[in-house]
Chains A and B, each alone.
Chain A
Amino acid sequence: MASVEFANVRKSFGTHPVIKGVDIEIADGEFVILVGPSGCGKSTLLRMLAGLENISAGEIKIGGKVVNNLAPKERDIAMVFQNYALYPHMTVADNMAFSLKLKGAPKSEVDKRVKPAAEILGLSPLLDRFPRQLSGGQRQRVAMGRAIVRDPQVFLFDEPLSNLDAKLRVAMRAEIKELHQRLKTTTVYVTHDQIEAMTMADKIVVMHDGLVEQIGAPLELYDEPANLFVASFIGSPAMNMIKGKLDPNDGLKFTTEKGVVLPVAKAPQSAKGRTLIYGLRPEHMTIADGGIPAEVVVIEPTGSETQMIMRVGGDLVTGVFHQRISAKPGETVGLSIHAEATYLFDAETGKRLA
Chain B
Amino acid sequence: MTMTTTAKQPSAFGNIARSNTAVGLFFMLPAAVFLLCFLTYPLGLGVWLGFTDTTIGRDGIFIGLENYQALARDSVFWMAVYNTIFYTLIASILKFGLGLWLALILNEHLPFKSFFRAIILLPWVVPTVLSALAFWWIYDAQFSIISWSLMKLGWIHSPINFLGDPNNARASVIAANVWRGIPFVAISLLAGLQTIPQSLHEAASLDGATGWQRFRFITLPMLTPIIAVVMTFSVLFTFTDFQLIYVLTKGGPVNATHLMATLSFQRGIPGGQLGEGAAIAVAMIPFLLASILFSFFGLQRRKWQQGGQD
Instruction: Report A's interface with B, CB cutoff 8 A.
Output: 50-52, 71-73, 77-79, 81-83, 85, 87-90, 98-99, 102-103, 129-133, 146, 150
Contacts and interface: CB of A to CB of B under 8 A. Distances in A.
Nearest to B221: A89
Contact of B200 (A79, A82, A87, A129): A87
Contacts of B305: 88, 132
B199 to A, nearest CB: 4
A90 B307 CA distance: 13
Interface in B253-277: none
Contact of B208 (A50, A73, A130): A73
Contact of B206 (A73, A129, A131, A133): A73
Contacts of A132: 304-308
Given A72-B205, A85-B200, A132-B304, 5 more contacts: A73-B208, A85-B197, A88-B305, A89-B302, A133-B310
Contacts of A77: 206
Interface in B176-205: 197, 199-200, 202-205
B199 A99 contact: no
A51 B304 CA distance: 30
Contacts of A81: 199, 202-203
B74 interface: no
Contact of B207 (A51, A88, A89, A98): A98
Looking at chain B, what size class is its interface with the partner chain? 20 to 34
A102 B209 CA distance: 6
A78 B304 contact: no
26 contacts: A52-B205, A71-B205, A72-B205, A72-B206, A73-B205, A73-B208, A73-B209, A77-B206, A79-B202, A79-B206, A85-B200, A85-B202, A87-B200, A87-B204, A88-B305, A89-B221, A89-B222, A90-B304, A99-B208, A102-B209, A102-B213, A129-B310, A132-B304, A132-B307, A133-B307, A146-B207
A154 to B, nearest CB: 11
A102 B208 CA distance: 7
Contacts of A90: 304
Interface in B205-257: 205-210, 213, 217-218, 221-222
Contacts of B222: 88-89
Given A87-B200, A88-B222, A78 B206 contact: yes
**Closest CB pairs A-B (n = 5):** A85-B199, A99-B207, A85-B203, A73-B208, A132-B307
Contact of B202 (A72, A129, A130, A150): A72
Given A87-B218, A88-B304, A89-B304, A98 B206 contact: no
B302 to A, nearest CB: 7
B309 interface: yes
A27 B300 CA distance: 50
Contacts of B213: 102
Contacts of B217: 87, 98, 102
A50 B218 contact: no
Most A C-beta atoms less than 10 A away, residue of B199, B209, B210: B199
B222 to A, nearest CB: 6
Contacts of A131: 304
Most A C-beta atoms less than 10 A away, residue of B206, B218, B303, B307: B206
Contacts of B308: 132-133
Nearest to A76: B208
B198 to A, nearest CB: 9
A83 B199 contact: yes
Contacts of A50: 202, 206
A83 B199 CA distance: 8
Given A85-B197, A85-B199, A133-B309, A150 B304 contact: no
A89 B303 CA distance: 8
A150 B307 contact: no
A199 to B, nearest CB: 26
Most A C-beta atoms less than 10 A away, residue of B204, B210, B305: B204
Contacts of A130: 303-304
B303 to A, nearest CB: 6
Contacts of B203: 79, 81, 85, 87, 146
Contacts of A133: 307-310
A146 B208 CA distance: 12
Most A C-beta atoms less than 10 A away, residue of B204, B222, B304, B309: B304
Nearest to B310: A133
Nearest to B202: A52
Contacts of B206: 50-52, 72-73, 77-79
